[in-house]
Chains A and B, each alone.
Chain A
């Protein structure tokens, strides 16, 4: 008997939720949903593989702009843009893994990959013909097989379906021998190679898979905000995404979901004080590191064995 199956009830329980929310709250809920894949990709590399790569915002921005530009300039339907958004996000992930393959680790890797994200932001600003430069670009209202996604309520159901799918696939990946390989690399890379694990291949795979999932999150972001500007992909954004995986729990899929919700909802408390976001993310990160270094997921894991994830230590 697999108690974990009850987790699949959660999306069903969530179905009527937006009906009780006002339009703004629905928008916040959608934002929390789209940050689940964004956090999943980030956590796969940082939490499961154990490499400190900060290029997540690059994949996020690429996914958003690929989707937005294809829709606005080439009339490609949104759901079709998900594929190139994932592919380009994945390719960017594979490229970002190159320094790691060359043996760059820790803060050297962090800085190099961080520069990748900043380089992409510079590209969005400079490539005005496609992106509208620093003024940004409008993203057309998407259409899903004849159904116009013009309200947050409608987008919610599409997002929920996408998120459930991505969580399910990543869960499978992490419980397979791939997940065991990631954990072995995280724990002791040399020992992993000594046990016949082709570590380079798995590092590229984790980065590429992470980049692809984040790219899809970017495409969701594009239609959720309806307007893309380079400032959405700056260092504050990186701090937000880092807060998601730290608060949730490094290496935990459940934690990523919790982190996405908390980090999205918490700044709403300070909604009338613009610019407080960074403060909230920073505070959340500090509090979690001090009191719950394994993240909120570790509380759940301690509360009941059903929450214990096979390849995450709570």
Chain B
């Protein structure tokens, strides 16, 4: 196995007095797509939020390309290249598609037109609606804006929190093809996905969490039924 790009060791984190993660270890290789699976409350989203800094880790280490990031604030972690597309989408609802996308490149300063063109090339639908206010768009389109905006910052590690959550079936397959195309471009990804079929279709490897620890890791090619048993039983 090649050297890991993201190395997580013994991460503990939670909300208030409640501990959710109790010592998570995880390695992700550059260009790899990892799906985090697990029942509700197993700590999948908390792990993503800890990687992006929105939940502060109490113990443990998070290294990206050798640099220690545990305990840094979200905007600093962003500058190190970890970008999260969260379940709530976290868009700027009153701004247009283009303004949202441009804010993705805010930390770079200067003109982001070239990056914008490449995002529009990947998402022609966003180019058509560039002046539309985001709050008037459908959930699937908003998800595209959120992913497009994350790409504007040219992330080193993309975190996707339920990219297909709450979307119509037509959009789920569209999101799947977007994620697959990101993989072809060797974007390193960690995603949380309730839709097991989608997760197995797009990820290289699956990591199963239970009660805040990793209980199983394997390549995504395995038997679906067996994986379901591991998650829930």
Chain A residues in the interface with B (C-beta under 8 A): 177, 180-181, 183-184, 187-188, 190-199, 313
Contact = CB atoms under 8 A, between A and B. Distances in A.
Contacts of B102: 180
A26 to B, nearest CB: 41
A190 B92 contact: no
A190 B94 CA distance: 15
Contacts of B79: 196
B90 A184 contact: no
A188 B91 CA distance: 7
Given A196-B107, A197-B106, A191 B153 contact: no
B166 interface: no
B2 interface: no
A195 B84 contact: no
Interface in B73-111: 73-75, 78-79, 83-84, 86, 90-95, 102-104, 106-107, 109
Contacts of A184: 92, 103, 106
B95 A183 contact: yes
B155 to A, nearest CB: 11
Interface residues of B, number: 24
Contacts of A197: 75, 106-107
Nearest to A176: B109
A181 B106 contact: yes
Task: Please provide the 10 A-B residue pairs with the shortest distance between their CB atoms, ordered closest to farther.
Answer: A196-B78, A196-B107, A191-B90, A187-B92, A193-B74, A198-B75, A196-B75, A188-B92, A195-B103, A193-B75
B52 interface: yes
B106 A191 contact: no
Interface string B196-208: 0000000000000
Given A195-B149, A197-B75, A190 B106 contact: no
B90 A188 contact: yes
A199 B53 CA distance: 14
* Most chain B beta-carbon neighbours within 10 Å: one of A187, A191, A195: A195
B106 A188 contact: no
B90 A196 contact: no
A256 to B, nearest CB: 20
A195 B93 contact: no
25 contacts: A177-B109, A180-B102, A180-B103, A180-B106, A183-B92, A184-B92, A187-B95, A188-B90, A188-B91, A190-B90, A191-B90, A191-B91, A191-B92, A192-B92, A193-B73, A193-B74, A193-B75, A194-B84, A195-B103, A195-B153, A196-B75, A196-B78, A196-B79, A196-B106, A197-B106
B106 A195 contact: yes
A196 B73 CA distance: 9
B78 A188 contact: no
Contacts of A199: 75
Contacts of B95: 183, 187
Interface of B: 52, 54, 73-75, 78-79, 83-84, 86, 90-95, 102-104, 106-107, 109, 149, 153
Contact of B93 (A180, A187, A194, A196): A187
Given A181-B106, A196-B106, 7 more contacts: A177-B109, A183-B92, A187-B92, A187-B94, A191-B92, A192-B103, A194-B54
Nearest to B106: A195
A27 B102 CA distance: 46
A192 to B, nearest CB: 8
* Most chain A beta-carbon neighbours within 10 Å: one of B54, B79, B106: B106
B230 to A, nearest CB: 32
Contacts of A196: 75, 78-79, 106-107, 153
Contacts of A177: 106, 109
B153 to A, nearest CB: 7
Given A194-B52, A194-B86, A196-B75, A188 B149 contact: no
A133 to B, nearest CB: 46
A188 to B, nearest CB: 5
A150 B4 CA distance: 75
Contacts of A198: 73, 75
Contacts of B73: 193, 198
* Most chain B beta-carbon neighbours within 10 Å: one of A177, A180, A196: A196
Contact of B90 (A180, A181, A194): A194
B218 to A, nearest CB: 31
A180 B99 CA distance: 9
* Most chain A beta-carbon neighbours within 10 Å: one of B73, B75, B153: B75
Contacts of A190: 54, 90
* Most chain B beta-carbon neighbours within 10 Å: one of A183, A191, A197, A198: A191
Contacts of B54: 190, 193-194
Nearest to B52: A194
A194 B74 contact: yes
